[in-house]
Structure 1
């Protein structure tokens, strides 16, 4: 009888239909009681040779069966609707919360494990909430009423029924803690297997290229065997639970039958009372038997409860306290003021990834951010989009701290194209319209032309109606990045961020694309992050980062003339180009 707080909370999404389903389940149980009483009276009449009431009694029994069938149908429909409502509400709640957690959460959590919780875990909650909980309430309420009815007929029968009923309800509780632990182990193993399978499917090209398919298959076989062992361990405990329940049910029924027969032999009860004890004793245990059946149906939900609770209560990396709308009347200025940030932060400690970063991206101008790997370029953008918050300092957009904006509004008005582009299994047009659902076909073409990908789309058999496959698998890396660029331009956001957005194309083409993008951006505020400096030569201002600090700020010509880190990076890039040409 495990009632996890997370599952009780989930049941609140459908209180009324669940209450209705519980009352209907109780009514179904009462029809069994009525049928038992009618049959007991009919059997007693037959034993006495009195058949006058027999047709009426049998008709009443058939009527009871028909009423029970109608109640059962309605109860199941109500429970199904309640379960569906709980599933939808719980999954929506978790998805919204996952959106609040943002990309930072998935840097530590495995995508396959989160998928298992959102899909299989929520599905398991359905049976627990819609079937087990109503039956649990019926089991706790109705047997005492049946015992009271039996006490009025044959009090001595209670000597066999009450201990058996207490054993059936309380005996398995001694195993609840072990059963809960086995359930958590089973769910953890199931979740790990799902995560490994998803990772293997997504990484199949890399596994084949590395010749690691066999090793991965072996690991998945080991995971599957571990899940089998966890399932068997769980079933062992569950079967003990079921065995105790069955022993109590059978033993109590037999004890009540023997006492009833003894009362009949000694003449201390009537034939009707004897038959009532025989039939009602079985009905006393019906809710207990049904509860055991529904428990097995809803056990996956109980196992997944801890995983659901962990996801729901995970704390977002940033507090979403801001409410201001990011509706800037003109392209805004972006300013970083003495920003410090550390990833592994505990009690303010941790090695900073950014140290005292201060610079301004002027409104309507293009600002490039360059530096060696690990300099903190992408970290700056994560802070700008509020995937994380700085330890010290502040970031302003349009003269207002980013923490003052509603996060959704802020991110909607900053179009981002990153190195790792993501396209969905849909048409090219549908992928583009993610940025602006009301965009016309002409809008799509203009954005694609600006990103330098229209001609390639037009050459495809279905043009913009071409399905690109999961993650854009049917396209090249350069085509995927240029589609992402087109999507960002289509969003028409006042701030455009390009985070290594053209790294999948050759350097000469990259410079052309960036130049075309800057021209297409018009008067937007543009931030360009790049390793290859050909992409930033035409920026209005270049910010050079090194070791999490601002090393220099200026335009391309001035920084080259200064002879610092930027000049060394330029020379290194020129030397690399010379080696390629040779």
Structure 2
């Protein structure tokens, strides 16, 4: 899938990020109050130190000294307690926001439609949900409160510093413009690197998911590509490691220079404070400006505030840089949230009651072109699938059979014409009720890495054990399950690889039968069954299909001999329709397909059913 990018010049929307916190504004307000109280408590200590140095010690006032020392201890205890409560509340908010974001992305992707997933690697999706959102977790949980805490601490410290001596305060702020400029420059560099790093991580995740799945291991081993895959992984991993290093080192020299300046300034402040102290009574000097001097206690208290201020400024700049770079992560997640949903419930869509559905399906001049394709797949399809009857779709590979089934299940919408169920346009039926009315068994059988019973109950969670057994008997799979040591509690393995293709298809059939839909769509549903099992199932399937609409997409023409209607597709058009005998007698496209099917069945090398 092509990478979704922001329009040129568009920056990540920080207001949208802040809206994520809106449901938790009361808790955030409480955190802000705690931060403000903690910051105010933090600037009390330097004033207590000034009283100790300027009054209590010179005048040998033990009572004042005791009160000041008690105050210092109380401030430390209160600040620590407030910090713990603040951390607890901010962590809860951060985790709640991450939960909301994960659920929003997952829910949105669930509605994206089949077309999105045919163009997107699974590893890329997993990377955005886990890696990107996981990387944002530290930012959302800790950084936001760190910004507010540092900002509040800086403001309180500056107010206290001005109250102590405005001249020393101005001197302390000389480096601030340089720090702001440096932070913005570093932030831009880190944001670019982080975006590249996450894209590389997504590629690596996709490669792992593809190559270390059961199918990937089989492919790599049988093709002798194990070493090549390892070398490719090593190259990609090395590229990711390089980006991680660049991300960590971006702006480190700038920050080192700033940190050095922050360490030098207290020493220079002592020099300036000494000058102000020495010249306090000399008119025309800086020490005499305003008629106020600097006491030793004031200088010690100021240095204490300054020593605490600079790490807060440095930390705020670091956090701001981290937030700036993390906006790339938010952008990647928002790209998925903003991806348009192509298949969705229309406004006012109605929910059909499966018990009331007869099952007549009509195609009225239906055209269909896959998104991004140049040529249409279906052209002017006019078709009536009678209620309660068996209609078979046949044709050569690429004729449009499966695409027709996709449209019936509304995995895609037609680009022209319409499809109706009992006279209702599929686009005007809710997706949930359509899924309840139409049971689909596809050629690509997918089973969850869970027990057989859990896989079956995925279709109907309230099904009893007796319901499971009845469905499996119809699908001719119960005896095999009963013979397993753990029976229906047997874990099927990843994608059902503990079972053969035929066994998986019979489990999928049982899962669909369990739902008891009024319409059955079988897309090559018996393609992996051997001839004997297929014949054994045919009677059971006929019994299940009796009274309901059945559409079967078949490659093996022997499976559609008794269909009420056979529709022959060729290059996306209907070229013939009729019963099996009628089409054979006509000697057209179906007769040729049947002759070819008979020849393949007689070839000794034919591997079908093995």
Structure 1 partner of 2:312: 287
Deviation of 1:109 (Å):
1.2
Structure 2 partner of 1:212: 225
Specify every segment of 5 or more residues in structure 1 that has no aligned partner in the other structure, as ranges.
none
What TM-score do you get using the length of structure 1 for normalisation?
A: 0.94
Kindly indicate whether the alpha-carbon contact (under 8 Å) linking 2:475 and 2:506 is maintained by their aligned counterparts in 1.
Answer: yes
1:334 to 2:361 alignment: yes
- Mapped to 1, the partners of 2:396 and 2:322 lie a distance apart of 56
1:324 to 2:377 alignment: no
Deviation of 1:490 (Å):
0.4
1:81 to 2:92 alignment: yes
Taking a change above 3 Å as real, the CA distance of residues 226 and 435 of structure 1, as seen in their structure-2 partners, is same
How far does the alpha carbon of each residue in 1:450-487 deviate from its partner, in whole angstroms, 9 at most, with x for none?
Answer: 11100110000010011112211211111111111100
Q: How does 1:271-420 map to 2 (within 5 A)?
A: 271-292=296-317, 294=319, 301-322=326-347, 323-328=349-354, 329-345=356-372, 350-420=374-444
- Mapped to 1, the partners of 2:158 and 2:398 lie a distance apart of 74
Deviation of 1:302 (Å):
3.6
1:573 to 2:584 alignment: no
Q: 2:474 aligns with which of 433, 450, 453?
A: 450
Structure 1 partner of 2:5: none
- Mapped to 2, the partners of 1:33 and 1:2 lie a distance apart of 36
Q: 2:203 aligns with which of 179, 189, 192?
A: 192
Tell me the secondary structure at the aligned position of residue 492 of structure 2: coil
Taking a change above 3 Å as real, the CA distance of residues 421 and 165 of structure 1, as seen in their structure-2 partners, is same
- Mapped to 2, the partners of 1:469 and 1:248 lie a distance apart of 61
What TM-score do you get using the length of structure 2 for normalisation?
A: 0.89
My pick for the range that moved more, 337-346 or 429-438, is 337-346
Taking a change above 3 Å as real, the CA distance of residues 153 and 575 of structure 1, as seen in their structure-2 partners, is same
Q: How does 1:82-231 map to 2 (within 5 A)?
A: 82-202=93-213, 203-231=216-244
My pick for the range that moved more, 427-436 or 513-522, is 513-522
- Mapped to 2, the partners of 1:413 and 1:247 lie a distance apart of 71
Structure 2 partner of 1:72: 83
Structure 1 partner of 2:74: 63
Kindly indicate whether the alpha-carbon contact (under 8 Å) linking 1:421 and 1:484 is maintained by their aligned counterparts in 2.
Answer: yes
Tell me the secondary structure at the aligned position of residue 101 of structure 2: helix
Structure 2 partner of 1:493: 517
- Mapped to 1, the partners of 2:364 and 2:311 lie a distance apart of 71
My pick for the range that moved more, 409-418 or 109-118, is 409-418
Structure 2 partner of 1:519: 543
Deviation of 1:309 (Å):
1.4
1:38 to 2:48 alignment: yes
Tell me the secondary structure at the aligned position of residue 604 of structure 2: helix
Deviation of 1:281 (Å):
1.1
Specify every segment of 5 or more residues in structure 2 that has no aligned partner in the other structure, as ranges.
1-10, 281-292
Kindly indicate whether the alpha-carbon contact (under 8 Å) linking 1:257 and 1:277 is maintained by their aligned counterparts in 2.
Answer: no
My pick for the range that moved more, 24-33 or 521-530, is 24-33
1:427 to 2:451 alignment: yes
Deviation of 1:207 (Å):
0.9
Deviation of 1:77 (Å):
0.7
Structure 2 partner of 1:250: 263
Deviation of 1:345 (Å):
4.5
Kindly indicate whether the alpha-carbon contact (under 8 Å) linking 1:164 and 1:251 is maintained by their aligned counterparts in 2.
Answer: no
Taking a change above 3 Å as real, the CA distance of residues 526 and 46 of structure 1, as seen in their structure-2 partners, is same
Structure 1 partner of 2:38: 28
Kindly indicate whether the alpha-carbon contact (under 8 Å) linking 2:443 and 2:525 is maintained by their aligned counterparts in 1.
Answer: yes
Tell me the secondary structure at the aligned position of residue 48 of structure 1: coil
Kindly indicate whether the alpha-carbon contact (under 8 Å) linking 2:114 and 2:412 is maintained by their aligned counterparts in 1.
Answer: no
- Mapped to 1, the partners of 2:507 and 2:468 lie a distance apart of 10
Deviation of 1:241 (Å):
5.2
Paired residue total: 579
How far does the alpha carbon of each residue in 1:379-423 deviate from its partner, in whole angstroms, 9 at most, with x for none?
Answer: 122222222211110010121001101222222322111111111
1:237 to 2:217 alignment: no
